């Protein structure tokens, strides 16, 4: 019996060894080239197909369901919060209008608040625990652009300090500086985490951390003395100037409300806490934000979290201390004709450009950015960070930003088309980031019909960290993304000089080019043809070597494009 068993074991031993080795090889290959999972399957299509999200309706809110209209007009001599809110007897404050709208909503009565021109120095909150209502709640400027909700108040009665050009005023607040939430990963200096803001004649003053540091056009908060010091610019008459000091953390907060419309309103000067937003919309369905502005707020302008069936259209989110717009867990969403430029001035004060800076989005599903403009930000123009899927960026203009232009990180099924990514500048303190299009552990990405040019370091960089684990933001299943299945088609990709690579693959080309498609592109650098960098292949290669090594771009060309290109 023993001999028989030994004979059978010897007979099948080789077969067993082969099966084990095949399984190991398959596992390694899967780790290297495939999207793979821990937990239930995520059902990614194993192809390049991409569904371009288009909303079913131009307006996700049925405004015909409005049954009550109320008016806010503090300039009317009859205005009072005890009024019924008619046009003849209007309300005085947004808070009263919000209170009435909330009660109507809970009674299933749709409400539109029509707001007359003026500066409303208020903070509005709409919070509901349970929501069974399908009626709309609408906040609409009677004249778009002339309704301003402000986080600042006008402060008078300044005192000259010791016969100097500095003036002082009592400071009644005890605002703590929040801790750095990432102490082991990145330095966030105190100036970045502070929230105080001040303006003279609508011009932002730069915050300093000591009286000795004050220079023209700056201010300082002394927590020990409970005083604020300002040093106006030369030629400013303090007695004939408007000095505004931010005192409200939030301007508009909606949580749990569906069928919400914000239209034609400007939100400015919120002294938002570190990582907070002037306007925050959370946990809602059927949301429309249009023809509105988010300007000069301390941290974020507009942040939307855990919402679906959302349209953000024709808005401007400029000159905010960190980011203009951001989103988290958004489904079936359209950002259209959105500009978010010249943001992250507070981050710039403290050298905070990466990590959480820039216009970041997490856990997106079926989201379109159409005619998205990001110019002159001191951070990423657009950053898809973590578990974003089925995102279409079309006709975008992402130029002249600092640190990164478009960053696609651990996301999949991303389409970038008909867009211009140009002249984005590198941070010399961070050699990791390349300011054109930066892909990191991203798969199923298509770049088509784009102009990518004049960006520092490289126009396209791909980085792979195969040890990073990702968690689905909705199912909590764990999975990994490797850098396979990119398509580069019909793009014009141009470097400005010999220091600007056209493409940089890191770490090795075998990790991703086996599944890549690159065709019908125009590549060019006027200073050198050696603009194709593969990290494990030494110095940058010319176009012919690139074609030979990676077996891509057989139908592409390396030549100067016709016509004048304004991106150089």
In a structure prediction context, what are the per-residue pLDDT tens digits for the chain, which is 568 residues long? Answer: 444 544 444 455 555 444 444 443 333 333 333 333 333 334 444 555 677 899 999 999 999 999 999 999 999 999 999 999 999 999 999 999 999 999 999 999 999 999 999 999 999 999 998 777 899 999 999 999 999 999 999 999 999 999 899 999 999 999 999 999 999 999 999 999 999 999 999 999 999 999 999 999 999 999 999 999 999 999 999 999 999 999 999 999 999 999 999 999 999 999 999 999 999 999 999 999 999 999 999 999 999 999 999 999 999 999 999 999 999 999 999 999 999 999 999 999 999 998 899 999 999 999 999 999 999 999 999 999 999 999 999 999 999 999 999 999 999 999 999 999 999 999 998 888 889 999 998 999 999 999 999 999 999 999 887 667 788 999 999 888 877 889 999 999 999 999 999 999 987 667 667 788 999 999 999 999 999 998 877 899 999 999 999 999 999 999 999 887 777 6
Residue 406: give the domain boundaries. 33-59+355-568
Length of the chain: 568
Q: Are residues 411 and 548 in the same domain?
A: yes
Q: How many CA atoms lie within 13 A of 449 on its CB side?
A: 7
Q: Does residue 350 sit within a domain?
A: no
Q: How far apart are CA 72 and CA 92, in angstroms?
A: 6
Contact between 12 and 5 under an 8 Å Cβ cutoff? The reply is: no
CATH number for the domain spanning 329: value is 2.160.20.10
Predicted pLDDT of residue 36: 36
In 92-218, alpha helices (H): 94-106, 190-193
Q: Which two tokens stand for residue 395?
A: 């006709």
Q: How far apart are CA 546 and CA 554, in angstroms?
A: 10
Predicted pLDDT of residue 479: 84
Q: In the chain, how many domains are there? A: 3
Work out the number of other CB atoms within 10 angstroms of the CB of residue 12: 11
Q: Are residues 146 and 157 in the same domain?
A: no
Q: Are residues 313 and 444 in the same domain?
A: no
Q: Are residues 40 and 89 in the same domain?
A: no
Q: Are residues 390 and 487 in the same domain?
A: yes
Q: Are residues 328 and 199 in the same domain?
A: no
Report helix, strand or coil for 137: strand
- The pTM of this model reads 0.91
Phi first, then psi, for residue 270 (nearest 5°) are -70, 130
Q: Are residues 367 and 446 in the same domain?
A: yes
Q: Does residue 19 sit within a domain?
A: no
Q: Which two tokens stand for residue 25?
A: 């090889």
Q: Are residues 404 and 464 in the same domain?
A: yes
Q: Does residue 14 sit within a domain?
A: no
Q: Are residues 108 and 199 in the same domain?
A: no
Q: Does residue 9 sit within a domain?
A: no
Q: How far apart are CA 113 and CA 99, in angstroms?
A: 11
In 120-252, alpha helices (H): 190-193
Q: Are residues 509 and 556 in the same domain?
A: yes
- Select from 308, 340, 372 the last residue of a domain: 340
- Select from 221, 246, 271 the last residue of a domain: 246
Q: Does residue 6 sit within a domain?
A: no
Phi first, then psi, for residue 524 (nearest 5°) are -165, 140
Task: Using the Cα atoms of residue 353, residue 356, residue 359 and residue 362 in order, give the sign of their dihedral.
Answer: positive
Work out the number of other CB atoms within 10 angstroms of the CB of residue 108: 12
Q: Are residues 310 and 393 in the same domain?
A: no
Q: Are residues 158 and 296 in the same domain?
A: no
- Select from 187, 222, 246 the last residue of a domain: 246
């Amino acid at each position: 019996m023993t001999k028989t068993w030994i004979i059978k074991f010897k007979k099948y031993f080789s077969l067993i060894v082969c099966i084990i080795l095949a399984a190991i090889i398959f596992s390694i290959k899967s780790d290297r080239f495939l999207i793979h999972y821990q937990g239930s399957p995520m059902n990614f299509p194993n192809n390049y197909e991409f569904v371009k999200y288009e909303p079913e309706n131009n307006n996700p809110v049925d405004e015909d369901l409005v049954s009550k209209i109320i008016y806010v007009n503090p300039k009317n001599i009859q205005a009072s919060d005890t009024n019924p809110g008619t046009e003849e007897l209007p309300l005085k404050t947004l808070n009263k209008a919000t209170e009435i709208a909330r009660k109507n909503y809970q009674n299933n009565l749709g409400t539109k608040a029509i707001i007359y021109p003026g500066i409303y120095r208020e903070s509005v909150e709409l919070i509901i625990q349970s929501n069974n209502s399908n009626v709309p709640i609408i906040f609409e400027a009677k004249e778009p652009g002339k309704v301003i909700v402000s986080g600042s108040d006008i402060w008078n009665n300044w005192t000259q300090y010791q016969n100097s050009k500095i003036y002082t005023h009592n400071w009644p607040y005890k605002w703590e500086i929040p801790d750095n939430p990432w102490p082991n990963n990145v330095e966030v200096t105190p100036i970045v985490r502070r929230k105080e803001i001040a303006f003279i004649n609508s011009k932002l003053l730069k915050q300093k951390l000591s009286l000795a540091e004050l220079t023209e056009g700056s201010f300082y908060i002394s927590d020990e003395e409970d005083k604020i010091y300002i040093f106006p610019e030369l030629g400013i008459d303090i007695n004939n100037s408007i000095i505004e000091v931010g005192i409200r953390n939030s301007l508009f907060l909606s949580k749990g409300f569906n069928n919400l419309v914000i239209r034609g309103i400007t939100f400015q000067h919120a002294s938002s806490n570190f990582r907070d937003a002037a306007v925050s919309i959370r946990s809602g369905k059927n949301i429309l934000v249009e023809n509105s502005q988010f300007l000069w707020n301390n941290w974020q302008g507009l942040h939307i979290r855990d919402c679906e069936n959302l349209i953000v259209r024709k808005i401007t989110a400029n000159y905010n201390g960190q980011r203009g717009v951001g989103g988290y867990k958004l489904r079936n969403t359209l950002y259209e004709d959105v500009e978010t430029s010249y943001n992250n001035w507070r981050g710039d004060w403290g050298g905070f450009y990466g990590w959480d800076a820039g216009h970041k989005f997490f856990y997106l599903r079926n989201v379109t950015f159409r005619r998205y403009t990001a110019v002159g930000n001191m951070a990423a123009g657009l950053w898809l960070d973590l578990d974003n899927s089925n995102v279409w960026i079309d006709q975008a203009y992402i130029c002249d930003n600092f640190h990164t232009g478009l960053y696609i990180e651990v996301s999949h099924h991303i389409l970038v088309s008909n867009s211009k990514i140009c002249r984005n500048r590198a941070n010399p303190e961070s050699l990791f980031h390349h300011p054109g299009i930066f892909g990191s552990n991203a798969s199923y990405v298509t770049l088509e019909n784009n102009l990518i040019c004049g960006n520092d370091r490289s126009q396209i960089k791909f980085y792979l960290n195969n040890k990073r684990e990702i968690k689905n933001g909705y199912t909590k299943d764990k999975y990994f993304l490797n850098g396979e299945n990119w398509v580069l088609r019909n793009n014009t990709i141009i470097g400005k000089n010999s220091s600007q690579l056209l493409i940089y693959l890191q770490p090795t080309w075998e990790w991703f080019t086996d599944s890549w498609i690159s065709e019908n592109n125009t590549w060019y650098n006027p200073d050198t043809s050696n603009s194709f960098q593969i990290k494990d292949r030494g110095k940058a290669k010319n176009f012919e070597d690139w074609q030979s090594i990676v077996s891509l771009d057989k139908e592409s060309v390396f030549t100067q494009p016709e016509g004048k290109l304004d991106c150089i």
